[in-house]
Structure 1
Amino acid sequence: MKVLKVLLVSGLAVSMLAACGKQEASQTASEATNAAATKAPATSNGPVTIKYYNWATGPSIDQINQIISNFEKKNPNIHVENVQLVNNGNSVEFYKKLDLMAASGEPIDVTDFSNVDFVTERAARGVLEPLDDYLKKDSINVDQTYYMTPKLDGKVYGLESSSQLWLVAINKDALDAAKLPVPTWGWTWDDFRDYAKKMTKGTGDAKQYGAFFFTWGEYANMSAYMELPHPYLKKDQTPVFGDESFKNFFNLRRAMEKDDQSVKLYSDVIGGKLRYDSEFLNGKAAMIPTANFVVNLIKDTTKFPHTFKTVFAPMPVSSKNVEVGTSNLGGGFVSIGKSSKYKQESYEFAKYLTEQMDVIRDLPGLKNVDKDKVMKAIVGDRTDLIDVDSLSATLFDKRIKSIYDPSYSTAYSSQLKPVLENGLSAFLLDNLTPEDAQKKMIDEANKIIQQNKK
């Protein structure tokens, strides 16, 4: 019941994240995890069936089935069942069901995760299989192979199946009208603010704002996600919300709302339930910080009819002193359940998911890929809507790196994201000072940390 309680609490925390517990695993569970990690199990003699859990919808299901078919041709003794735990594409509901499966002891073979913290949280609870011995057998150095790897206590618990590089999407018509060049690596948030002011035009319902900030925690302090080892915690697992970057970014948000009027009021975004994709693609905002998944949205002219071309720029940095290439680099990850009866077979499929290039659904998690092949796959024939040169320069710059450190993460990290979201909300809606907002966040975070240490 104790484990079930922890997992149910975790599910609630994830639901608070809107698409994005510390209860330590017992000593017995930890010992079992370490013992199992000392030797990767051998492949079974006969054909086996493993299940791949994900939240795919629509065309993505067909793409996964094609990947599975290709894998099974190369591995005839392994059959993979494509299982969507939810049928609405909602990853929040997916995690709830996955955690309930784990709590009930149901075997989990291979599963998707949309955030590195979500992997390390479940690894901390003993739900996932460490992959180090499997990787060692295949001579795979994850740090050289993938952009980001979920690790806990030095052990690997997931492989990056897709990378999500944060960038800025810009309406080329608005950029040209303001006579501004496409921003390049090294531009700052001060530059971003200036661009937003110059691209703001019109009034009332016809107004086009220069930029748009969504409600996810990433938008509350983008510098923290880019330039700190962890956006919520310090190395000693105390809150990082007192960092100067929170004050600076909060002040930027207020200045762009109140002084420049180049972004919609936060209250209007919340009250109108406005989204980043519709605001940008419907021409209500000239630019948005987002991630490369926006490319698929741009191509969907059925849902978002538009004719303007989108150009792309790297994420701005807090100052010219930040090393060029530093960015917020997230991704999708695939892990193996500790409860799987076929861990070796599950590993083979998980590895294949990250390495195969026959069906390219998104930007791969691999560092070394054929960028022309990837660009052709993700852009398709929509060069009328997508500026290929600026997108390629943004996605494939050799200097791109993340300073995110998975070792900072804990079993309750995801519970701290709403703390940041609530902090910005209180700052903007209740007219707090940055210092008061930071104190509020630190106090709230400390309560969560203390609760999870009990």
Structure 2
Amino acid sequence: MKKTSALLLTSAMMASLLAGCGEKPKEEQAAAGAGNAKQVNLKVYTWLSEETAHWSKIMPEFNKEYPNIKVDVNILSSKDDAHEAMKKLDLAAASGQQMDVVMLNDSTGYTQRVNAGMLAPLDDFLKTDGIDYDSEYKATTQINGKYYALPGRLLTWFVMLNKQKLDEAGLAVPKEWTWDEFMDYSKKLTKGEGPSKQYGTYFHNWMQYITLANVNNPTNNRIVTADGKVEINNDRIRKSLQIANQVQNVDKTAHSYADVISQKLTYRNEYFGGKAAIIPTGNWMITEAAGSETIPAKFVSVFAPYPKFSKDDPNGQTLATIDYIGVAASSKNPKEAYEFTRWFTTKGILASEAMISSWTKADLNKMIDGLIKTGKNPEMVDKASLEYVMNISKPVKIVAPPAYISDAEKRYTSEVEKFLLDKVDLETTIKNAEKAVTDVVNTNK
């Protein structure tokens, strides 16, 4: 009798315990499951600094959802120096260091490292998760039919303007304009001579500033297409060179190319120092327009859409670039590395409150608010004009270029420099640049 009673009591207790377990909330069950999962350590290599990406905000949010994955974030540059960071990344890969997630800053570096075998294809993971890539992301990372990365930040271009100088010149904030109208504004905003001269604009020595009218071409916006076709002898490239020559050498509404190179000028100092009234640039400058520790904002910045090549072009069509986040081919934990990659390119960027995401489900205006409030002087950003520009922006298609694109761009730049230094005429420059780039293409066939 006693044995039977004890057995019944034990059975009842077990039933009660099992019932209690069954009543636990799903969230607790999921957390328990994650706690029992295999602990994995990932090494993430990135060029994005704490100041830019806010890793201290991102990682606690990731740890809440994936407590079994410990992530070591290796920041390769303290000043967002992509060139320095990529050299360190390649060195780490060559020396066989643990590498699980890799972040790259542009399509050129992405293509080169895919061809070098650094990144693993993600197609099987995307298929398993049932992800329709084109409905999830605003930019493609596809190379030869496969995805080797997911897009991180979406960097679109616009024109940033000093409101005080616009008001002094009696100029309205443009809501739609062409490059010819941009150059007219630049003339009206230029005054004075010598060291104290106020320039209308500033063109840096980047590739974008010698292809300004071509980078927002909705089809072929690089000087070499993905399949190796040279795109230089056309109206958009010709217009780009005419714009650069007009502002730097003819109207003299910007520092000459020679000054930019010889004096090692920087676009931040030129604009925020009040030496240039307007500047074509990208949305990474939103936070800086709101002031930083290094450069406080001393005037209100307003924003205008990227200028159009032709007045008949759609308004808001703009150059766009992305960061590429991929799984290292050498990773011993590719599934977990993919999970971090997928999470970062969706929820992670939003958690930072410091970047614009390529994820289609992200709230653009909320991201803009985050960027502005990150600055030290948020009142110095004209939010109305910024929201207008960002919401009408139509990023052109981003296509991964051939692996030799950096060599092609160096040869193109070399020929264009001769034109901007007044050594060669426009048509000779087009002809010589086309030949030089074609030689690079043929060498790499």
Normalising by the residue count of structure 2, what TM-score does the alignment of the two structures yield?
0.85
User: By how many angstroms is 1:301 displaced?
Assistant: 4.7
Of the three residues 76, 84, 90, the one matched with 1:93 is 84
RMSD between superposed Cα atoms in Å? 2.1
Of the three residues 191, 215, 224, the one matched with 2:214 is 224
Q: Distance in 1 between matches of 2:136 and 2:94?
A: 33
Q: Distance in 1 between matches of 2:109 and 2:254?
A: 31
Matched to 2:382, the amino acid is: D
Matched to 1:69, the amino acid is: P
Which structure: larger Rg?
2
Structure 2: 5+ residue stretches without partners: 1-35
1:419 aligns with 2:375: no
User: By how many angstroms is 1:304 displaced?
Assistant: 2.4
Aligned to 1:261: 252
1:146 aligns with 2:137: yes
Q: Distance in 1 between matches of 2:318 and 2:333?
A: 37
Of the three residues 93, 106, 112, the one matched with 1:121 is 112
1:320 aligns with 2:311: yes
User: By how many angstroms is 1:334 displaced?
Assistant: 0.9
Report the more deviating stretch, 371-380 or 212-221.
371-380
Matched to 1:252, the amino acid is: I
Aligned to 1:224, the other structure's residue is in SS state: coil
Aligned to 1:71, the other structure's residue is in SS state: helix
Q: Distance in 1 between matches of 2:79 and 2:365?
A: 33
Q: Distance in 2 between matches of 1:100 and 1:301?
A: 32
Q: Do the aligned residues in 1 keep the contact of 2:140 with 2:398 (CA within 8 Å)?
A: no
Q: Distance in 1 between matches of 2:263 and 2:216?
A: 29
Report the more deviating stretch, 74-83 or 319-328.
319-328
Q: Distance in 1 between matches of 2:440 and 2:299?
A: 45
1:439 aligns with 2:431: yes
1:371 aligns with 2:364: yes
User: By how many angstroms is 1:235 displaced?
Assistant: 5.2
Runs of 4+ aligned structure 1 residues displaced above 6 Å come to none
Matched to 1:280, the amino acid is: Y
Which structure's relative contact order is higher, taking Cα pairs within 8 Å and 6+ residues apart? 1
Evaluate the alpha carbon distance shift between residue 449 and residue 105 of structure 1 in structure 2; reply closer, same or farther with a 3 A threshold.
farther
1:272 aligns with 2:263: yes
Report the more deviating stretch, 232-241 or 371-380.
232-241
Q: Do the aligned residues in 1 keep the contact of 2:209 with 2:244 (CA within 8 Å)?
A: no
1:349 aligns with 2:340: yes
Q: Do the aligned residues in 2 keep the contact of 1:170 with 1:311 (CA within 8 Å)?
A: yes
User: By how many angstroms is 1:162 displaced?
Assistant: 0.8
Evaluate the alpha carbon distance shift between residue 371 and residue 247 of structure 1 in structure 2; reply closer, same or farther with a 3 A threshold.
closer
Q: Do the aligned residues in 1 keep the contact of 2:163 with 2:301 (CA within 8 Å)?
A: yes
1:237 aligns with 2:228: yes
* Percentage of pairs with the same residue: 31
Q: Distance in 1 between matches of 2:47 and 2:398?
A: 26
Matched to 2:340, the amino acid is: F
Q: Distance in 1 between matches of 2:300 and 2:248?
A: 26
Q: Do the aligned residues in 1 keep the contact of 2:354 with 2:367 (CA within 8 Å)?
A: no
Of the three residues 385, 391, 414, the one matched with 1:390 is 385
